[in-house]
A and B are shown apart, each in its own frame.
Chain A
Amino acid sequence: MEIKLKVDASGLSCPLPILKASQGMKTVEQGELIEVIATDPGSVKDFAAWATSTGHALVESSAADGKFRFVLRHK
Chain B
Amino acid sequence: MDETISIVLFSGTDDKLAAAAVLAAGGAALGRPVKIFLQYWGLNAFRVDSIMSDHGLAPEAGMAGKAAVDAAAKAGQAHWADTLRMAKELGEVDIQACSASMDILKLKATDLDPMVDGVEGVAAFFINAGEGQIVFI
Q: Which residues of A contact B (CB under 8 A)?
A: 11-16, 18-19, 21-23, 26, 49-50, 53-54
Contact = CB atoms under 8 A, between A and B. Distances in A.
Interface string B23-51: 00110111100000000000000000000
Contacts of A21: 29
Nearest to A46: B26
B26 A16 contact: no
B77 A18 contact: no
Given A13-B72, A15-B25, A18-B29, 10 more contacts: A14-B22, A15-B22, A16-B83, A19-B83, A19-B86, A22-B28, A23-B89, A49-B30, A50-B29, A53-B31
Interface residues of B, number: 18
B77 A54 contact: no
Chain A at the B interface: mostly helix, strand, loop or mixed?
A: helix
B87 interface: yes
Contact of A11 (B31, B76, B90): B76
Contact of B30 (A11, A13, A16, A50): A50
Given A11-B76, A53-B30, A53-B31, A22 B90 contact: yes
B132 interface: no
Given A22-B90, A23-B90, A15 B29 contact: yes
